[in-house]
Chain A
Amino acid sequence: MMQNLVMQNLAKFRASVLKEARIILRDRQALILFFTMPVIFVLILSLSLRDVFGDRPGASFPVLLVAQDQAEVGREIVATFRANRSINLALSHDASEAQVRQWLIDGRYRFAVLVPAGATDQAKRRLGEIMADVPLDLRLEKPVQVQALADPALRSDYRKVLEGTLSLALHGIEMKLGREQLEQTLRVTQGERFRGLPDLEQSGLFAPVHGDTVTRRSGGPTPSSVQQNAPAWTLLAMFFLAVPLSVSFIKEREQGSLFRLQTMSVPAWVVLGGKAIPFFVINQIQMVSVLAVSVFVLPLLGGDPLGLGDSPLALILMGASASLAAIGFGIAVAMYARTTEQAAGFSSATVMIMGALGGILVPKAVMLPIMQNLAVISPLSWGLDGFLDVFVRGGGVREVLPEALALLTFAAICHAFAILRYRRRV
């Protein structure tokens, strides 16, 4: 008898899922939107925000270097900028300062370095005076003026990096010229006894600095734009599914079919679950399509490929937990909203707020500390942390478990509220 009832309810559940799938599949426009929206978001944002997340400041725009001086100073500065592979360098030898200023005003360049003609000679003369200990007020040569000109709209962190690169080059030149001058002086004063200065470059005082990221597993990949954007926009798209889900529920109520079901022996879980499963499948397809595009298509367009980490199981767990949370949210909204307008308005606004709080729209790393702490209340933040655990920190199932459990708890609470409300509406 009991077994019979279970079998009958399972048959009803299957029929509910089939019904919902048919309804969804017949709404072509909505389907296209479900799948293209997150993919387009990820493509656009991953490509355009590549440099914000990457370690290549300045790479997104050309830096103009006008080396009017073509001797040691000019050559050294060009070499230093060239050595920095993250700088996209445009080189000129004859542009005038006025021309450079005009280019910056016109927006052709956003940062320019101007090495004046005769800089090397001037630097050497100045150095000669310094080495000869000529009193300050009697020195004829002024310090060499290498100019850095910037568009005021240029982000300050970009500018600082570029100015830092220039300072590094000038320090190098200073050291080199000073050393040459010192060597020359010693050769004169010590004659044959002088065997040359030790090579500091070959036996440096400090080991070269390479910033290393700290992950759960050492040597994990560096976070990139796509690693932030792919899970962020997938999560947002997943949670946005709460909008059509809640609207479709309320439509059913308005059409009366939900009431009709309530006059029949149909358990709440059959009705709610029948709706949830097809939306769960859509969520999973959304996730897979965004990940596939991020892994295979993005590199073809010049973006960084997405590193998926090495725990597919953790990824599946996160995808399923996030989807159940999103669906639970949608169903709970549907049970409490009275009209489709209410449901659509409330769920979309709430998802946007949760997205903003949770580091989807603006990465948590650039938020104020107080907002970073607030992010904890957003389920989207839990989802994003979980995905970043896998993609960036090399986490597995154990590492994403806290986030997955938080999402599943949220889902369980939402579903419980929804079932209670569904029954109480009778």
Chain B
Amino acid sequence: MMPMPSSLPTHEANPTEGVPAIELRRLSKVFPGSRAPALDAIDLIVPRGGIFGIIGPNGAGKTTLMSILGGLLRPSSGSARINGCDVFAEPEAIKRILGLVPQEPAIYPTLTARENLEYFGRMQGLSGDHLENRVAACLELAEMSEEADQRMERFSGGYKRRLNMVIGLIHEPEILILDEPTVAIDPHSRVLIHHRLRELDAAGITILISTHYMEEAEMLCREIAIINHGKLLVRGTVPELLALGRDGNLELQLFDAAPADLAGKLKSIPGVDAVEITGRRVVVASEHPDLIVAPIMQMLLADGLKVRTLSFGGTKLEQVFIALTGDHGAPK
């Protein structure tokens, strides 16, 4: 477990308590020349505190949504409010409390990590000791204190993404928006970013993260919204979403490849509706999976087939995602 740095921002109760962190009303965006809307009448409320995930396949509209929230792109219709303020009517009020971490590292490669932080800190209006302290704190958060004075162009993607994230924290925002922060980075940097996000969550910061890593969303997020083709398909807590995917499947992994007659034998067991076998993986569909577990196990035992794993009644977010989006080409 990584130590929790003392540098994390904390937020005391403020008068906007009770107002949702983010509120989208019929938010739509149609790009000129494009027939399909990038965002199609999205209604979404992100409550204060916690990590909220937006997941969707490539081209679902995640980055468009993030860009509108960051004030970089005007919606075609509908409204986006952050902390109760309209993103475009009151941009200055929002900019102070919002930290935006874009998908690609938005840094100056020929400047050092410290210079990048100092520059963006100053652009956020920080100065003097406060700036110095925040720069040191952010370097600590990114575990880059020792490399602070080397030019960023010499670093790997992981370091750049870490710096990219902490630049979004330089001014201690109340709300942090991250667009796919862990794409294409090394495991250490990914674990570090996950830790930091949990710590920020614990410190009371509202975090909106877009990702297409399902495990990441499942592991980090309190609530998740799935979007596809610009539409909000579903939102809910992780258990709520997982419940949607429970379809009564029984999934087995055998030690060896399944014999050719196994499918027929399994289908002969009362209550088994369908059997699908690929190599060592066996999926049995049934309306009452609890009633077929025992006879299936007995039959396999009798045939001398050893079972490596058995999962029953459970699903992964990925399955829910694929079922909802119909996108089998979606990333892990």
Q: A15-B119, A256-B104 are in contact. List 17 more A-B contacts (CB 8 A).
A: A12-B122, A12-B123, A15-B122, A18-B119, A19-B119, A252-B108, A256-B102, A256-B103, A256-B106, A259-B70, A259-B72, A262-B70, A262-B72, A263-B100, A264-B120, A264-B123, A265-B125
**What residue in chain A is nearest B104 (Cβ atoms)?**
A256
Q: Give the secondary structure class of B's interface.
A: loop
The yes or no answer to B111 lying at the interface (CB within 8 A) is yes
Contact A11 B127 (CB under 8 A): yes
With a CB–CB cut-off of 8 A, which chain A residues contact B118? 15
Segment from A20-28, A176-184, A212-220, A299-307 that makes contact with B: A20-28
Known: A12-B123, A22-B115. A263 touches B95 (CB 8 A): yes
Chain A: interface residue count, which band?
A: 20 to 34
9 chain-A/chain-B pairs, Cβ below 8 angstroms: A12-B125, A16-B123, A255-B104, A260-B120, A262-B72, A263-B70, A263-B72, A264-B123, A266-B123
The yes or no answer to A37 lying at the interface (CB within 8 A) is no
With a CB–CB cut-off of 8 A, which chain A residues contact B92? 265
With a CB–CB cut-off of 8 A, which chain A residues contact B110? 22-23, 26-27
The yes or no answer to B77 lying at the interface (CB within 8 A) is no
**B108 partner, pick from A15, A257, A259, A426, beta carbons under 8 A:** A257
Contact A8 B115 (CB under 8 A): no
The yes or no answer to B107 lying at the interface (CB within 8 A) is yes
Known: A260-B120, A260-B167, A265-B125. A19 touches B108 (CB 8 A): yes
With a CB–CB cut-off of 8 A, which chain A residues contact B103? 256
Report the minimal beta-carbon distance from B80 to chain A, rounded to whole angstroms: 13
A residues engaging B (CB < 8 A)? 8, 11-12, 15-16, 18-19, 22-23, 26-27, 252, 255-257, 259-266, 426
Report the minimal beta-carbon distance from A108 to chain B, rounded to whole angstroms: 56
Contact A257 B100 (CB under 8 A): no
With a CB–CB cut-off of 8 A, which chain A residues contact B123? 12, 15-16, 261, 264, 266
> Contact mask B51-72 → A, CB, 8 Å, 1/0?
0000000000000000000111
Contact A260 B96 (CB under 8 A): no
With a CB–CB cut-off of 8 A, which chain A residues contact B107? 255, 257
With a CB–CB cut-off of 8 A, which chain B residues contact A8? 125
With a CB–CB cut-off of 8 A, which chain B residues contact A262? 70-72
B residues engaging A (CB < 8 A)? 70-74, 92, 95-96, 98, 100, 102-111, 115, 118-120, 122-125, 127, 151, 167
With a CB–CB cut-off of 8 A, which chain A residues contact B167? 260
With a CB–CB cut-off of 8 A, which chain A residues contact B102? 256, 259-260
With a CB–CB cut-off of 8 A, which chain B residues contact A15? 118-119, 122-123
Report the minimal beta-carbon distance from A80 to chain B, rounded to whole angstroms: 66
Report the minimal beta-carbon distance from B268 to chain A, rounded to whole angstroms: 60
**What residue in chain A is nearest B102 (Cβ atoms)?**
A256
Report the minimal beta-carbon distance from A339 to chain B, rounded to whole angstroms: 16
Known: A265-B95, A265-B125, A266-B123. A256 touches B72 (CB 8 A): no
> How far is it, in angstroms, between the C-alpha of A255 and the C-alpha of B103 when the chains are bound?
10
With a CB–CB cut-off of 8 A, which chain B residues contact A27? 110
**What residue in chain A is nearest B67 (Cβ atoms)?**
A259
Contact B124 A255 (CB under 8 A): no
> How far is it, in angstroms, between the C-alpha of A330 and the C-alpha of B71 when the chains are bound?
26
With a CB–CB cut-off of 8 A, which chain B residues contact A19? 108, 111, 115, 119
> How far is it, in angstroms, between the C-alpha of A216 and the C-alpha of B159 when the chains are bound?
64
**What residue in chain A is nearest B124 (Cβ atoms)?**
A264
8 nearest CB pairs, A to B:
A256-B106, A15-B122, A260-B106, A263-B70, A263-B100, A26-B110, A257-B106, A256-B102
With a CB–CB cut-off of 8 A, which chain B residues contact A12? 122-123, 125
Contact B71 A426 (CB under 8 A): yes
Report the minimal beta-carbon distance from A336 to chain B, rounded to whole angstroms: 16
**B95 partner, pick from A22, A257, A259, A264, beta carbons under 8 A:** A264
With a CB–CB cut-off of 8 A, which chain A residues contact B74? 426
Most buried by B among A19, A27, A261: A19
> How far is it, in angstroms, between the C-alpha of A27 and the C-alpha of B110 when the chains are bound?
9
Report the minimal beta-carbon distance from B296 to chain A, rounded to whole angstroms: 53
With a CB–CB cut-off of 8 A, which chain B residues contact A16? 119, 123
Contact A255 B106 (CB under 8 A): yes
Report the minimal beta-carbon distance from B188 to chain A, rounded to whole angstroms: 23
> How far is it, in angstroms, between the C-alpha of A12 and the C-alpha of B124 when the chains are bound?
8
Report the minimal beta-carbon distance from B165 to chain A, rounded to whole angstroms: 12
